[in-house]
Amino acid sequence: MMSQMPRPTAMSTCPSCEEPLESGDRFCGACGYDLSAVPAPPDHLPEVTPAADGAVPENPAVDWPPAPELDSSDTPAPVHLPTDLQGTDSGGSELPSAVRFDGVPEQAGESAAGDYTLPAPDPRTVPPESLATPPAGTKLCVACRAGQVDRDGYCENCGHAQPRERDHMEQELGAVAAVSDRGLRHHRNEDAFAIASAALPDGTPSVVSIVCDGVSSATRPDEASLAASRAASEALLESLPRGTHPQQAMHDAIVVAAEAVNALAQEPGSAREHAPHQNAPACTLVGAIVAKDLLIVGWVGDSRAYWVPDDRTAPAARLTEDDSWAAQMVAAGLMNEAEAYADERAHAITGWLGADAYELEPHTASFKPDRPGVVVVCTDGLWNYAEAAEEMARVIPADAAHRPLHSAQVLVGHALDGGGHDNVTVAVLPFPVPPAGAGSA
């Protein structure tokens, strides 16, 4: 059976520019008009049934106005505009005499019959002070600044989808700051952080930062990272003022964070019937404590902590070792670092917080830096773009100890400029803890 191809319409002139055509032309040689777009004439013309007396009836439904006659001056006949003749719609009703354009009514409260009124005023034409304050517990649209946001996250006025609260987060305490961003490729931010400060028993200050990265292959990774960061921070704020050694406090905080993530998997059986093969919620964790002359780090997974001294002539250092396939290959002497991290399995993690983790092994380390500097606590969304300690030292601003929030913003911007393939979260902690009131400028 032959395929059916559109038949070219036999025409003598182009229907667009009226230039003569040759037989077989598919396009007009003058204007390029696609002649195949013109419908072909029917194969058979409809038959006209004659009247009883044998005469062919005329169509009385069309009442054309008489054309004006030309005078002896050969002046062309006047052209009628569409508005000169009153037409009817397909149902026989008269057409409206005017065209309505959507817009703000000239007088508030007036609308024609059948018009829809907006639930909120157009902010482009209404002074900001006259816009109503949304009721408590509701949000104002970030696009039109006039409508309220419904439960699904859309504006009831303009329909604009609202950004999630976690798409971009920033927080600063005097001696620590953190920034988290969704990145350019992910549809949500699965990272979370918590920063805090607490007084030790002798009254000296301590600063805490926790950064968590949700495991995307697991279910509800965003909930896992949020639960872990909050639980670890709360545990540290409870134990440090009691005099618990910071390294022990960090170990215990990671255990508490793991329990918080495990609790997310304790769902009723019916809740997992529809997704029985999903992994339990999971995340990585890295944290740092600056207390007196001690710097404590703790981690599970592949999120990292870096030390960058204020004196950039001194060497920077990575303070953590990844729980990952690549790190295991290097530690076992089977590959060098370049070979291991070039492998497609490099970032497969071997340790995490979650109900299906093989075994929880919190890692902690204690340092006594001999000079001032900053600690960079981050997810792989950042260190993928500044992996070596020397690279991290080159990226972070020289005044990071005095402007931690600005420095965190710069680091997140570096990751986004590099491609932003993952969520990006970073906390910057000056060491030692700056005196009270010496926050970023």
Amino acid 374: pLDDT: 98
pLDDT recorded at residue 103: 42
Query: What percentage of residues in the chain have a pLDDT greater than 70?
Result: 70
| Distance from C-alpha of 225 to C-alpha of 289, rounded to nearest angstrom | 19
Cα separation values, 287 from 166, 214, 354, 374, Å: 20, 15, 17, 14
pLDDT the model gives residue 113: 43
- Give the model confidence (pLDDT) of 58-75 as tens digits: 555 545 555 555 555 555
Lookup result for tokens 């070792």: 321
The position carrying tokens 């859309």 is 154
- pTM, two decimals, is 0.65
Dist. CA 342–CA 322, nearest whole Å: 15
Q: How far, in Å, are 128, 291, 293 from residue 370 at the CA level? A: 55, 14, 9
- Cα–Cα dist 330/321, whole Å: 11
How far apart are the C-alpha atoms of 156 and 150, rounded to whole Å?
A: 6
SS3 call for 198:
strand
What is the DSSP secondary structure assignment for residue 19, as one 8-state letter? -
pLDDT tier at 153, thresholds 50, 70, 90: confident
Which of 52-56, 362-366, 370-374 has the lowest average pLDDT? 52-56
Specify the pLDDT at position 17.
Answer: 75
Asked whether residue 267 carries a pLDDT value surpassing 90, the answer given is no
- State residue 341's pLDDT score: 83
CB 401 within 8 A of CB 373: yes
Asked if the model's pLDDT at residue 107 lies above 70, the reply is no
285, 236 Cβ separation under 8 angstroms = no
Q: Report in angstroms the alpha-carbon separations of 63 from 83, 87, 95, 318, 371.
A: 17, 11, 17, 89, 98
**Segment among 35-39, 61-65, 161-165, 191-195 with least mean pLDDT:** 61-65
